[in-house]
Structure 1
Amino acid sequence: MTNTMWMRGVEWLAAAAGDPRTCKWEWDHGEGVALLEAGRFWDVLSVPDRLGLLTLDLLWRPGIPVPGPTLIDTAAGRVGFLLPPDPAGGWVGAGLRYATKGAWVAVPPPYRPARFLEWLVPPDGSGTLHSPGALEEALRQANGTLAVLAPPCGQ
């Protein structure tokens, strides 16, 4: 990523904060993490890390646009995909968590990890998010793959 892309990514992400200047200050001088409200510019679908990493790998294919912004929380063992806001929050399934309007999400700056949070695909400032349809299909594929790889119960 070029410096211009980093700066656009910072501005785009900070725009979700109540006070973008304070948000950027927190990233540079505070704990390195800002709490941003979901539901205005994006929502976050959080999944267990094995499922999320395999899903991201399936989304990262030649001929398909680069996946949208994706976070990993190594302490919680979760991967978060930024999607267009969906007030209905129609994502349900074992282990899925959906953050929309009224939910707050801890995010590091696009240019470095902070604590246990890191961007696997940082925002580039263009506003590109994950396509819900493509993400759902990749999640189904990844879930099927993990089910095949899982040991039988009791072993």
Structure 2
Amino acid sequence: MNVPNMLTMSRFVLIPLFLFFYFNDQTITALSIVLVAGLTDFLDGYIARKSGQVTVTGSMLDPLADKLMMLAVVVALLIKSVLPLSAFLVMAFRELVMIIGSAIYHFRGLKTVPANLFGKVTTILYYVAILLLFLELRGGVTVFWCGIVLSFLTSVIYFMKFKSINQTTT
């Protein structure tokens, strides 16, 4: 267990904390927890790459922690009617397909594709949308939909790269 993996694991602990504070009407505390989770996401990858501590475990747990945190936030926003059901359904569908697909590829021993610039921009858009939604500022739902559209485009790019690196020469 190295520092990047501990940071990743902390995000799993932050999920119930976020939910507790959000549903007890402590929105700013809940938002702070989401932002801390985002910071740990950045830090764990940065530290792992810079210090040569990239692990298979971290490579699997990091995206899972990110997706579960994002799904928890989106479900919470949906329950409180801050986010429309349509946005939740489309985003949740894509995230669940990515989680299941990544697990299947991993357990079949296939090479996976690391995050790219589009994936990082998608994440930033989601965090901006969450910030706007939590602070009840205009444009939150629109920015969220922009993140959803970009996430699907990113998925197509990931799939094409995945297919390319896993093709066998005959």
- Relative to the length of structure 1, the TM-score reads 0.31
Larger radius of gyration: 2
More helix by share: 2
- Relative to the length of structure 2, the TM-score reads 0.29
